[in-house]
């Protein structure tokens, strides 16, 4: 049973003169223990969608099922208990400046019948967990952005949630601090078996901690799957754009596209090879020579690990007879290595287009 099941969710905002469909027919299934990334540009509908999960936003249609229970009809104390299971953190920490760090963390427990002593013990335990115990008597203004986000995380954990929603929680942080917050989320996921919904426009964040990802565009989920399947075999152009931001292939192609040795290179002979997992160790390049008398010259290489599985990209030139190259490509294909012809004229066109857009 999925922990969170969204079925055919629509959210339409009706305004005076128009209505905006912020979320359109979204179905997602989030399992206990997932770190589920939802990535998309500004306005894609990410925040609206996750607000539906804890009923801060009513869906116009569709079903939200949490731990097997349809939460559409719940209200009052039942709704409060559903909401307690779901913590949320935001880009702008939303801490109370007049309260100490410890008091901020205790705040969600006020009025829930937990004694003062137990509240104090809990906030201290949570502050230890996020590495800020020594700052418990400080005020938010005395902390850095990364530290404030740690306080917000501790506060979100005060009601022992099963699910943590992180809505652009690292967007205001520098890359190093972002990494440390992501590592903390990963630790909480592992140690507390906390399910995490990570909303972001940074595919790098998704790549470093998520096990699943959904890509949103104009209210729709255009692609979803395990991290490895999406990174190794993206189906949608937008997904490819996001993946490109996380590796060095595009800049490498741009450099090549201006080098005189490559400017007019035959695009059937300049190719990108992509392989995953076991294929990595196959001495295929030697085989191409032995079997087809084709040499492959590596111009650029990049291997990364996606959920522990190697994903490799090589840009190579193939040299040999036309027939040999055709056979070599078929052979690579049979070895489950994907082969893409590189059209450097297109790379230059794309670059010119982007420069124009930026100007
Ligand atoms: N309360 C509202 N009333 C009217 N329109 C809204 C409301 N909330 C969101 N929208 C619209 O719904 C669309 C999706 O917004 P949403 O905030 O969910 O996007 P997002 O993906 O979270 O964007 P960002 O990355 O900028 O946070 C946008 O067009 C937005 O203007
Ligand atoms: Mg948002």
pLDDT attached to residue 111? 85
Which residue owns the Cα nearest ligand 1 atom 8?
A: 48
Going by CA atoms, what residue is nearest to atom 16 of ligand 1?
Answer: 45
- Ligand 2 center to residue 96 CA distance, Å? 22
User: For atom 28 of ligand 1, which residue has the closest CA?
Assistant: 43
**Predicted confidence (pLDDT) per residue in 336-352, tens digit:** 899 999 989 899 998 99
144 CA → ligand 1 middle, Å:
28
- Please choose, from the candidates 284, 263, 241, the residue with its C-alpha nearest in 3D space to the C-alpha of residue 342: 263
Domain borders along the chain are 4-234, 249-358
Q: Which of 249, 213, 219 minimizes the C-alpha distance to 231?
A: 213
Q: What is the DSSP letter of 178?
A: H
> For a pocket test of ligand 1, which of 46, 57, 215 has the largest count of ligand atoms closer than 8 A to its C-beta?
46
134-154 per-position pLDDT tens digit: 999 999 999 999 999 999 999
CATH topology of domain 249-358: Alpha-Beta Plaits (3.30.70)
- Whether residue 282 is predicted with pLDDT greater than 70 in this model: the reply is no
Rounded distance, CA 200 to CA 192, Å? 22
List the end-to-end C-alpha distance of the chain, in Å, as a whole number: 50
Atom of ligand 1 nearest to the CA of 48: 18
If you take atom 18 of ligand 1, which residue's CA is the nearest one?
Answer: 45
The ligand minimizing its distance to the Cα of 40 is 1
Work out the pLDDT band at 89, boundaries 50, 70, 90.
very high
Strands 212-217, 35-39: pairing kind: parallel
* Protein residue whose Cα sits closest to atom 2 of ligand 1: 13
Q: Are 101 and 143 in contact (CB under 8 A)?
A: yes
**Closest C-alpha residue for ligand 1 atom 12:** 22
- Which is the closest atom of ligand 1 to the Cα of 219? 14
Residues in contact with ligand 1 by the CB-under-6-Å rule are 13, 20, 22, 40, 42-48, 201
Query: Span 291-319, mean pLDDT?
Result: 91
190 Cβ contact partners less than 8 Å away, ≥ 6 residues apart? none
Q: Above 90 in pLDDT, residue 126?
A: yes
Mean pLDDT for 300-319 is: 90
Please, what's the b/e burial string for 258-296 (b: 16 or more CB within 10 A of its CB; e: otherwise)? eeeebeebeeebbbbbbbbeebeeeebbebbeeebebbb
- Between the CA of 47 and the centroid of ligand 1 the distance, in Å, is 7
Q: DSSP for 96-109, please give it.
A: -TTS-HHHHHHGGG
Nearest atom of ligand 1 to the alpha carbon of 41: 25
**Phi, psi of 67, deg, nearest 5:** 45, 45
Percent of all residues in the chain with a pLDDT value above 70, rounded to a whole number: 99
Q: Among 179, 183, 129, which Cα is nearest to 157's?
A: 129
Task: Give the ligand whose atoms come closest to the C-alpha of residue 49.
Answer: 1
Handedness of CA 208, 210, 215, 219 (dihedral sign): negative
Pocket test for ligand 1, best of 18, 47, 242 (most atoms within 8 A of CB): 47
Residue 213 reports pLDDT greater than 60: yes
For ligand 1, atom 14, the nearest C-alpha belongs to: 45
Alpha carbon of 51 to ligand 2 centroid (Å): 10
CB 344 within 8 A of CB 299: no
Q: How far is the CA of 92 from the centre of ligand 1 (A)?
A: 17
- Residue 46 reports pLDDT greater than 90: yes
Average pLDDT, the chain: 92
Instruction: Write the CB contacts of 245 (distance below 8 Å, at least 6 apart in sequence).
Output: 202, 203, 204
Separation between Cα atoms, residue 61 and residue 84, nearest integer Å: 24
pLDDT band with cut points at 50, 70 and 90 for residue 283: confident
* Ligand closest in space to the Cα of 51: 1
Residue nearest to atom 3 of ligand 1 (CA): 13
Measured CA to CA, the distance from residue 88 to residue 121 in angstroms comes to 22
Q: Tokens in use for 129?
A: 């967990």
Distance from the alpha carbon of residue 104 to the mean position of ligand 1, in angstroms: 28
- Would you call 87 exposed, middle or buried from its count of C-beta atoms within 10 A (0-12, 13-18, 19+)? buried
pLDDT, average across residues 18-27: 96
Q: Cα 300 vs. chain centroid, distance in angstroms?
A: 26
Kindly give the distance from the C-alpha atom of residue 302 to the centroid of ligand 1, in angstroms, as a whole number. Answer: 36
User: How, if at all, do strands 19-30 and 4-14 pair?
Assistant: antiparallel
* Ligand with minimal distance to 56 CA: 1
The CB density around residue 136, as the number of other CB atoms within 10 Å, is: 19
Q: Which ligand is nearest to the CA of 15?
A: 1
Q: What's the pTM? A: 0.91
Residue 251 CB coordination number (10 Å): 11
CATH superfamily ID and name for 4-234: P-loop containing nucleotide triphosphate hydrolases (3.40.50.300)
Alpha-carbon distance 215 to 20, whole Å? 20
């Amino acid at each position: 049973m999925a922990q969170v099941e969204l079925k055919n969710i629509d959210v339409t905002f009706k305004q005076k003169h128009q209505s905006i469909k912020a979320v359109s027919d979204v179905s997602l299934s989030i399992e206990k223990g997932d770190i589920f990334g939802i990535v998309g540009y500004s306005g894609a509908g990410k925040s609206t969608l996750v607000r539906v999960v804890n009923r801060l936003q009513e869906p116009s249609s569709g079903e939200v099922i949490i731990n097997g229970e349809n939460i559409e009809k719940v209200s009052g104390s039942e709704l409060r208990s559903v909401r307690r299971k779901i913590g949320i953190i935001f880009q702008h920490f939303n801490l109370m400046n007049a309260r100490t760090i410890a008091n901020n963390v205790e705040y969600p427990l006020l009025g829930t019948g937990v004694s003062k002593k137990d509240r104090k013990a809990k906030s201290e335990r949570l502050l230890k967990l996020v590495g800020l115990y020594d700052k418990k008597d400080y005020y938010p203004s005395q902390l850095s952005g990364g530290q404030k986000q740690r306080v917000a995380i501790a506060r979100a954990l005060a009601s022992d949630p099963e699910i943590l929603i992180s809505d652009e929680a690292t967007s205001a942080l520098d890359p190093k601090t972002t990494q440390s917050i992501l590592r903390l989320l990963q630790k909480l996921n592992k140690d507390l078996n906390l399910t995490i919904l990570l909303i972001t426009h940074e595919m790098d964040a998704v790549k470093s901690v998520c096990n699943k990802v959904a890509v949103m565009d104009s209210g729709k989920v255009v692609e979803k799957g395990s991290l490895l399947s999406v990174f190794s075999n993206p189906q949608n152009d937008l997904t490819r754009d996001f993946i490109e931001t996380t590796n060095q292939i595009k800049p490498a192609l741009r450099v090549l596209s201006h080098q005189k040795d490559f400017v007019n290179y035959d695009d059937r002979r300049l190719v990108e090879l992509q392989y995953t997992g076991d294929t990595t160790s196959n001495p295929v390049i030697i085989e191409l020579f032995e079997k087809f008398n084709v040499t492959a010259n590596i111009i650029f290489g990049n291997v990364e690990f996606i959920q522990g599985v190697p994903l490799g990209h090589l840009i190579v030139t193939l040299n040999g007879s036309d027939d040999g190259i055709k056979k070599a490509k078929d052979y690579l294909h049979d070895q489950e290595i994907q082969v893409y012809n590189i059209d450097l004229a297109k790379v230059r066109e794309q670059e010119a287009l982007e420069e124009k857009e930026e100007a």
